[in-house]
Amino acid sequence: MSKHILVISQYFYPEPFRINDICQEWIKRGHKVTVLTGIPNYPEGKFYKGYGWFKKRKDTWKGIDIIRIPIISRGHSSIRLILNYYSFVWSGWFWKTFTSLKPDLIFTFEVSPMTQALIGKWFSKRRKIPNYLYVQDLWPENLEVVGGIHNKHILNHYQKMTDKIYKRCTKIFATSPSFVKAIQERVEDKEKVIYWPQYAEEIYKPVDNPNPPEIPKDGRFKIIFTGNVGTAQGLDILPKVAKLVNNDICFVIVGDGRYKEQLIKETEDVKDKFIFINRQPAERIPVLLCACDAAFISFMDNPLFEKTIPAKLQSYMACGMPILASASGETKRIIEEAKCGLCCEIGNAQKLCAAIAFLIDQNLHLLGENSSIYYHLNFDKENLIRKGLDNMSK
């Protein structure tokens, strides 16, 4: 039976998040979808061209009704980021108080901040409808590690807030088995926490004979990273590695983020070994990936990231890429189970250099095939969409 699903997500099209594709799939299956979101400004920190407080506040995209509530853009400071987070919640409080919208259920797509899930908590209580939460980031752990907040009083406040949100959820979806375990430790009803991994959109698939102009065919072994260039990604290891490896290695960095300018400065002495490409439309990423020899994943050294399965891992695997990682925990487990690449200790430049040297001599075609096979067995889109809808209909 078709339902009217209210999606709450601070980020939505044209911002590049997987919730865009999930909503399209629900529309294809006959459901009505309304998205409550902010004014697009991620990751640059300023409103996208054509959008603003008085521009395109209501929109329709691929059959999805979009309501954009006023927010303060992220900017490039910690204060602006906090204002960005809370402005969405404040606007959401007023919206839920005065809206006449009557959905059948609420689905909150929670990449940080967790505060956005408060709107779903309030609205579900008011309308007495099911409330589902899809956890991409653990809070307050993410606030401490990525946000740099270490004040115990602040962290305790957000832990209590998160626990109340969890309590009010009908079901909680989590993107890794470790996330499931962590959330189950904080709720009474363990059964309502469900492992629901992410999938890659259909555009992510192997590309034959790619020839993007940004990546020269110069015979060098190319290792590509795509996505947000932030401190949490641990990319500071790459300039150290570049100084140790020979000239036949090239690192391709695709994307933008708060750490990018600093990373460019750190690579000044080895800039001939780096290619920086600005954030690209998702449709171009497979071409860029397949023009390289291996795809790279890394994290800063923190137990939080042992529990994380980064969304880019599924994208890399769907494109049949051999994977090189400076990671541990869930990411390491998947790479080893799939036999699709190498994973070494976080932050250890010497071991990453050795891993690169070893990878160069491997059968890259076989590693890529293993990557693709594991993806289709474990992260198949059709199966995962069905699993999500089944769990929201029970």
Q: What is the pLDDT of residues 97-107, one digit of tens each?
A: 999 999 999 99
Distant-in-sequence, close-in-space partners of 79: CB < 8 Å, separation ≥ 6 = none
Residues pairing with 134 in the sheet:
109, 173
Q: Indicate the residue type of 356.
A: I
What CATH number should be reported for the domain whose range is 221-378?
Answer: 3.40.50.2000
pLDDT reported for residue 380:
94
pLDDT band at 149 (very low <50, low <70, confident <90, very high): confident
Which neighbouring-strand residues pair with 216? none
Which fold would CATH assign to domain 4-198+380-393?
Answer: Rossmann fold (3.40.50)
Q: Is the pLDDT of residue 1 over 90?
A: no
- For 381, phi then psi, to 5°, come to -60, -50
State mean pLDDT over 129-147. 90
pLDDT at 362 over 80: yes
Q: How confident is the model at residue 302 (pLDDT cuts 50, 70, 90)?
A: confident
Domain ranges of the chain: 4-198+380-393, 221-378
- For residue range 27-65, list pLDDT tens digits in order: 999 999 999 999 999 878 899 999 999 888 999 999 999
Q: What pLDDT does residue 161 have?
A: 95
Percent of the chain with pLDDT over 70: 100
Cβ neighbours of 381 (radius 10 Å): 20
pLDDT (tens digit, 9 = 90+) per residue, 84-122? 999 999 999 999 999 999 999 999 999 999 999 999 999
Two domains, one topology: 4-198+380-393 and 221-378: yes
Mean pLDDT of the chain: 94
More confident residue, 184 or 151: 184
pLDDT over 90 at 257, yes or no: no
Distance of CA 189 to the CA centre of its chain: 27
* Residue 210 φ/ψ, nearest 5 degrees: -70, 145
Average of pLDDT values for 74-81? 85
Written as six digits, the tokens of 300 are 């800063």
